[in-house]
């Protein structure tokens, strides 16, 4: 390279330190500082705070913490009405979450005693309803139990204390148990009556068989009524016959008394008077 082409060291230093280069470096520096400053400002102005932890707190304290974080609170209970003793058992979103789109914290509170009482009352009412349906399916009259059933549901719906749910008087469980006890009594009576009806039918069949065997073949036998004792072991009935043919056709004969006794699983006719 010729001496004319070779750049003098002083010339290089002048080029590096030229006003244009210094202005460019200054501009870049200003830009970087401005970017850093803007980032800091955004961080300072960013009001997104982490979701506070309100688990185990009362409603009042939880609401204070949520409001302090610049958020709103939505409260729900695990039963119809608040008792004032509830504590937070669930929160959504969970504690520590940062999201500028989160504005409301959903909080679920419960009072364990109240929660257990509500569950117990709900189960009692469910059992009472099931018993009612079963009784009605059998044809048992349950109209007198409509009001107690309504009372039970109303006490549960309006419960403000455990006593409203499981108290010994005028509580949801109290009224549900009244319904259950009444249905059990009705079902027992129904079962007794069904057994009595079955025994009357069996006794009637035995009486008919004995009457036909002891009477003329041209008689139509009728049993007017059966009187049976309480434990369904002894019965009497009035029997009469009507001639179906012959010169006395259509004529009724004298009514006779028939007596039967249950022996094990069968009815045995003991006396048919003089027959008819």
Residue 183's pLDDT band, with cuts at 50, 70 and 90, is very high
Residues 126 and 82 in one domain: no
End-of-domain residue from the set 193, 211, 246: 193
- Rounded to whole angstroms, the Cα distance separating 122 from 79 reads 11
| Domain end marker among 110, 126, 152 | 110
Question: In terms of domains, do 221 and 189 share one?
Answer: no
Task: DSSP letter for 233, please.
Answer: S
Q: Quick one: 23 and 73 in the same domain?
A: no
Phi-psi region of 94 (alpha: psi -120 to 50; beta: other; left: phi over 0): beta
Instruction: Clarify whether residues 126 and 180 are in a common domain.
Output: yes
Query: Is 2 a member of any domain?
Result: no
Q: At what angle do helices 112-137 and 146-157 cross, to 10 degrees?
A: 160
If one counts the domains in the chain, the total is 4
Strand 234-243 and strand 219-228: the pairing is antiparallel
**Does 65 score more than 90 pLDDT?**
yes
> Which residues, in sequence order, are CB contacts of 270 under 8 Å at separation 6+?
259, 260, 261
Kindly state whether residue 1 falls inside one of the protein's structural domains.
no
* 235 belongs to a structural domain: yes
Same domain assignment for residues 158 and 128: yes
Domain of residue 19, residue span = 9-45
- Read off the pLDDT of residues 131-168 as tens digits, 9 standing for 90 and up: 999 999 999 999 999 999 999 999 999 999 999 999 99
**pLDDT over 90 (residue 130):** yes
Which residues have a Cβ under 8 Å from the Cβ of 96 and sit 6 or more positions away? Answer: 50, 51, 53
**Residue 100's CATH number:** 3.30.10
Please indicate, yes or no, if residue 74 is contained in any of the structural domains: yes
């Amino acid at each position: 390279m010729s001496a004319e082409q070779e750049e003098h060291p002083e010339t290089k230093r002048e080029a590096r330190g030229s006003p244009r280069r210094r202005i460019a470096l200054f501009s870049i520096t200003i830009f970087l500082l401005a970017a850093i400053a803007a980032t800091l400002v955004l961080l300072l102005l960013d009001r997104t705070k982490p979701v506070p932890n309100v688990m185990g707190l009362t409603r009042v304290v939880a609401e204070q913490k949520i409001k302090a974080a610049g958020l709103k609170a939505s409260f729900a209970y695990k039963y119809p009405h608040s008792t004032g003793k509830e504590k937070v058992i669930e929160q959504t979103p969970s504690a520590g979450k940062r999201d500028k789109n989160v504005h409301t914290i959903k909080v679920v509170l419960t009072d364990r005693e109240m929660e257990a009482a509500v569950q117990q009352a709900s189960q009692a009412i469910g059992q009472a309803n099931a018993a009612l349906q079963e009784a009605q399916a059998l044809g048992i009259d349950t109209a007198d139990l409509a009001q107690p059933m309504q009372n039970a549901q109303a006490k549960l719906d309006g419960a403000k204390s455990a006593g409203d749910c499981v108290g010994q008087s005028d509580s949801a469980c109290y009224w549900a148990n009244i319904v259950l006890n009444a249905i059990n009594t009705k079902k027992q009576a129904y079962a007794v009556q069904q057994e009595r009806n079955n025994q009357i039918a069996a006794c009637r069949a035995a009486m008919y068989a004995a009457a036909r065997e002891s009477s003329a073949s041209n008689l139509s036998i009728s049993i007017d009524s059966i009187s049976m004792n309480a434990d369904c072991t002894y019965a009497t009935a009035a029997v009469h016959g009507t001639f179906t043919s012959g010169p006395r056709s259509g004529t009724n004969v004298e009514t006779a008394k028939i007596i039967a006794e249950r022996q094990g699983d069968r009815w045995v006719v003991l006396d048919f008077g003089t027959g008819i």
